Amino acid sequence: MAENTELSERKKTIVKVYDVTSKDHLMVENQFGNVNINLWNRDEIRVDITIKASSSSEDRVQKYLDAVDISEKRNGDQIILKTTIDKSGFGGNWIMNRNKDGEKNFVQIDYQVSMPKTNALTVKNSFGNTTIPTFSAPLTINQQYGNFSTTELNGNQVDVDVRFGKADIQEMGNGKLNIQYSKLQLEKANNINLNNQFGGLWIGEVSRLDGKIGYSGAKIGTIKQSCNIKLDFSGGFKIDQLNKSVDNIDIQANYSSVVLPMAQSSDYNFDVTVSYGGFKYPSDGRIMINAQPNDDDRGVKLKKQYSGKVGKGTATKVRVVSTFGDVKFQ
């Protein structure tokens, strides 16, 4: 067994400062570290980069520090900062928690960014977390093998891509979310275009939701206006509440169960088509069926169609088409 060896740790700090106007766009590309964004009322961007290396070998610590390079480029309205790492001198021991001799080795590159609230921001980060405050300028996030968290995104151009991690968003206006092999927790949103694959999804409240969900369970608290969703192999899709202001619900489901709160809602018309599945609804008189399969027809009915209304019925339409999955109104 290898003897415990005292770890050696060193830090190196790099500071970048740029005078900017509202037209400038900051682009940060990092790996093996965190990116934290702060906003201030200055016409400049300041980036504090801390490179920290640790190992039981002094030589290896220095090699880690020397392998990290921060490149910068200012091209027109773009300010680009990029972390690059020369891994050629480390063989198979690059950024391993422990190497074959039992040493603890790591390098971490953290960005602390202070910038005006009006400037566009792009962050590409892997093997670390990204955190930003309330943000109203154009924003692009590409997060891999780490978590993304924010208080509020209310800009007109918001594009968030998270893979192999978690996205935690308290509030979002309009934008795109691409969440893969990750969990999404979104408290409140206005108009969202969503792609959620191989993960999990929880949305507290959303006005308009359009998107695709595959191999992911999904639960939505409240739909305020519309929902247009395609489900594939979802572990379960459930909406708890539909507001009176809802004008359209359209769900296409394959190998997925769908649960909607129709019995508790106001007045709607609905069409439900199920193939290789069933349709269940309360029998308390709140839901009226106008058309349904005729049980007297001979033969196996693989496709069943139902239409009717909830309450008095209105122009608001709820449409569900399900294959190899059950639909339930509750």
In a domain, residue 82? The reply is yes
Phi, psi of 264 (to 5 degrees): -95, -5
Pairing type for strands 237-242 and 258-260 reads parallel
What three-state secondary structure class fits 205? strand
pLDDT for 283: 83
Torsion angle defined by CA atoms of residues 179, 184, 190 and 194, in that order, rounded to the nearest 10 degrees: 20
Structure confidence by residue, pLDDT tens digits, 36-67: 999 999 999 999 999 999 988 888 899 999 99
pLDDT for 325: 96
pLDDT for 96: 47
- Kindly report each contact of residues 92-95 with a partner whose C-beta sits within 8 Å and lies 24 or more positions away, as own/partner: 95/32, 95/127
pLDDT for 264: 62
pLDDT for 94: 58
In a domain, residue 74? The reply is yes
Structure confidence by residue, pLDDT tens digits, 282-319: 887 778 888 777 655 544 568 999 999 988 877 789 99
Q: How many domains does the chain have?
A: 1
In a domain, residue 184? The reply is no
In a domain, residue 55? The reply is yes
Range of the domain at 11: 1-117
Here the tokens at position 307 are 């239409």
What percentage of the chain carries pLDDT values higher than 70? Answer: 90
pLDDT for 44: 98
Q: How far is CA 160 from CA 96, 109, 123, 199, in A?
A: 29, 22, 10, 15
Contact (CB, 8 A) for 108 and 32: yes
Structure confidence by residue, pLDDT tens digits, 226-283: 999 999 999 899 999 999 889 999 999 999 999 999 866 578 899 999 999 999 998 8
d(CA 167, CA 203): 12
DSSP 127: S
Q: How far is CA 40 from CA 17, 117, 131, 134, 155, in A?
A: 14, 7, 16, 12, 17
Contact (CB, 8 A) for 86 and 67: yes
pLDDT for 93: 59
Helix boundaries (H) for the chain: 58-67
In this predicted structure, the answer to whether residue 80 has a pLDDT above a threshold of 50 is yes
In a domain, residue 180? The reply is no
pLDDT for 287: 83
Contact (CB, 8 A) for 121 and 114: no
List of residues 6+ apart from 217 with CB closer than 8 A: 200, 201, 234, 235, 236, 237
Contact (CB, 8 A) for 268 and 329: no
In a domain, residue 39? The reply is yes
How large is the average pLDDT for residues 76-91?
A: 89
Contact (CB, 8 A) for 244 and 314: no
What percentage of the chain carries pLDDT values higher than 90? Answer: 75
In a domain, residue 85? The reply is yes
pLDDT for 285: 75
pLDDT for 45: 99
In a domain, residue 208? The reply is no
